[in-house]
Structure 1
Amino acid sequence: MKLIVGLGNPGEKYAATRHNVGFHWISRLAEELNVQFKSESKFHGLCTVATQANEQIWLLKPQTYMNASGMAVAAIARFYKITPEQMLVIHDELDLPPGAAKLKFSGGAGGHNGLKDIIAHLATQDFWRLRIGIGHPGNKHAVVDYVLHPPKQDEASLIDEAIQRSLTIWPLIISGDYTAAMHKLHTKPRAL
């Protein structure tokens, strides 16, 4: 894994919205790795680099707005010769309930405009995704308004738990043990 991308929209107005869970996740990872983001205009985003197991890993928060995320992802990938298979994109997922998180490789955009743009810019769907559940408003016409608003307090707690839980699989992801990472993330803890 060479590039970790957290999706979201820039600016204070969007900071707490459901659509920005990718930004929240990658900000927490940067804290854990003790690195700071800085603006990189050539990559259309906020970037930082961390060294893990003698490898450089780039962290990116595109600042292009969600619908143009692919421009930032493609720019940094081209510059550092990073293949799509070496990327992990963290994003909000309408088809998972708050509190759920799933790791998967490849697949369609599922109506997510950020993913759609990344797929278009990379000309492939073959990259890793970490999907953080935000739930669905129940009506497809309400989706835009729903993702651009903060979650209710109980949902926010569940989303936060999913972010925390998915961060615990980071060592497995970075070591390339995706099967173990998926097993750990997707297995529900047993009740005592």
Structure 2
Amino acid sequence: MDAPFLVAGLGNPGAEYAQTRHNIGFQVVECLARRWGCGWEESRRLRARMARAVFAGQRGWLCEPLTYMNLSGEAVGAALDYYQVPLTRLLVIVDDADLPLGVLRLRPEGSAGGHHGLESIQSRLGSTAFARLRVGIGRQAGQPRELASHVLSRFAADEKVVADKAVERAASQVECWLAHGVQSAMNQFNGPVERPSSQENAE
């Protein structure tokens, strides 16, 4: 049997952070859990919410770290160790303020690009050799590099239409990654989601 997979969506726990831009990784794995009929359980050992999953004949786990974004590596690393998941079967989903709203960018490996959640995971694992899916959350024109207030804000109504479509498309990209591999998932899904013409310049 194939090694188990782990799909980790990053975010911050707690009602005050729900539906914020920084939590779009949570939204993608929650979308997958709904599609696959998975139930969530909180693991104190792993410091994460975990959902046992089966897709395309493969078994694995969905993961939401409860460590807060900057310590995501503690939960993801613990889950990899506990379930004996190889790096080739790990996919991490994060927000990206440097990508326009709704743009998806899957890569088989790479740098953290300033994302503290990815930095934490790469530090814990001692490797950058795992897949990561960035979901664009946009940024305000002229906004400085310090993005704390922006990433912790919620989407405006017109932005949420695009963000919701991006979440669904990202979930489909994860399914393609599992069924057909990273190259196929990149070729089919990387890029912007379709958006209503009235929202072309929403971000």
TM-score greater than 0.5 by the shorter chain: yes
Please say which of residues 64-73 and 78-87 is displaced more in the overlay: 78-87
Mapped partners of 1:16, 1:86: distance in 2:
27
Cα gap change, 1:53/1:123 in structure 2, threshold over 3 Å: closer, same or farther?
same
Equivalent position of 1:139 in the other structure: 144
Mapped partners of 2:43, 2:18: distance in 1:
20
Mapped partners of 2:183, 2:150: distance in 1:
33
Please say which of residues 47-56 and 70-79 is displaced more in the overlay: 47-56
The 8 Å contact of residues 53 and 61 in structure 2, kept in 1 or not, is answered as yes
Mapped partners of 1:188, 1:110: distance in 2:
20
* Paired letter, 1:102: R
- Aligned length in residues: 189
RMSD value over aligned CA atoms? 1.7
Equivalent position of 2:92 in the other structure: 89
1:157, distance to aligned residue in structure 2 (A) = 1.6
Superposed counterparts of 1:97-108, under 5 Å? 97-108=100-111
Cα gap change, 1:135/1:52 in structure 2, threshold over 3 Å: closer, same or farther?
same
Superposed counterparts of 1:64-79, under 5 Å? 64-79=67-82
Secondary structure at the aligned position of 1:166 is classed as helix
Equivalent position of 1:163 in the other structure: 167
1:37, distance to aligned residue in structure 2 (A) = 0.7
1:54, distance to aligned residue in structure 2 (A) = 3.6
Secondary structure at the aligned position of 2:150 is classed as helix
Mapped partners of 1:34, 1:43: distance in 2:
22
1:79, distance to aligned residue in structure 2 (A) = 1.1
Q: Is 1:112 matched with 2:115?
A: yes
The 8 Å contact of residues 100 and 159 in structure 1, kept in 2 or not, is answered as no
Secondary structure at the aligned position of 2:45 is classed as helix
1:170, distance to aligned residue in structure 2 (A) = 3.5
Equivalent position of 2:37 in the other structure: 34
* Paired letter, 1:105: P
Mapped partners of 2:191, 2:127: distance in 1:
29
* Paired letter, 2:137: I
1:12, distance to aligned residue in structure 2 (A) = 0.2
Equivalent position of 2:131 in the other structure: 128
1:16, distance to aligned residue in structure 2 (A) = 1.7
Cα shift readout 1:85-128 (whole Å, capped 9, x = no counterpart)? 21000110111111111111111111111111000000001111
Structure 1 gap ranges (5+): none
The 8 Å contact of residues 6 and 25 in structure 1, kept in 2 or not, is answered as yes
State the TM-score, normalizing by the size of structure 2: 0.87
* Paired letter, 2:73: G
State the TM-score, normalizing by the size of structure 1: 0.92
Percent identity over the alignment is: 35
